[in-house]
Structure 1
Amino acid sequence: MPFVSVRITRDGVTREQKAQVIAEITETLQRVLGKRPDLTHIVIEEVDTDNWGYAGMTTTEYRKNQPG
């Protein structure tokens, strides 16, 4: 029973995009590893940009400092 956890920032990803990610990860596990789709679990966790940090700051602050 494969279990895949995907973490992304919560900033405009649509329901359709998440469904596509789930479908494509499931298909990849079936094609490459021979895993059964009916036993494959994909979880997408959306994290607020204030709760995701790198380069010493939150993603919210980091993006404010980017040009353009």
Structure 2
Amino acid sequence: MPIVTVQVTRQGTVPGADRTTSAQKAAIHKGVTDLLQQVLGKDPDDTFVIFQEIELEDWGRGGTSLPAWRQSKG
């Protein structure tokens, strides 16, 4: 029984969105499930995909929050 956790920062990927859309999440759930079936022969009914969105301030890189890190990179 595979369990896959997908973590992304909470930010929009399309104009006007401030988070991942429901359609994008559905595509990720299906894509991960299909990939595990194709590559490992896993039954889609036994595959769990957990999607987690994390606030930008809660994600750090290089010893600082992601927004501060991005700002420092120009």
Structure 1-normalised TM-score? 0.89
Question: Does the residue aligned with 1:35 lie in a helix, a strand or coil?
Answer: coil
- How far apart in 2 are the matches of 1:59 and 1:26? 29
Count of residue pairs the alignment pairs up: 67
Identity of aligned residues (%): 39
Question: Does the residue aligned with 1:42 lie in a helix, a strand or coil?
Answer: strand
Gaps of 5+ in 2: 13-19
Give the match for residue 30 of structure 2.
23
Pairing 1:39-54 to 2, within 5 Å after superposition:
39-54=46-61
- How far apart in 1 are the matches of 2:30 and 2:50? 12
Question: What CA deviation, in whole Å up to 9, does each residue of 1:30-62 have, x standing for no partner?
Answer: 000000001100001111010000012101212
Give the match for residue 5 of structure 1.
5
Gaps of 5+ in 1: none
Question: Does the residue aligned with 1:29 lie in a helix, a strand or coil?
Answer: helix
Specify which of 48, 64, 68 is matched with residue 57 of structure 1.
64
Q: Root-mean-square deviation (CA), in Å?
A: 1.0
Give the match for residue 36 of structure 1.
43
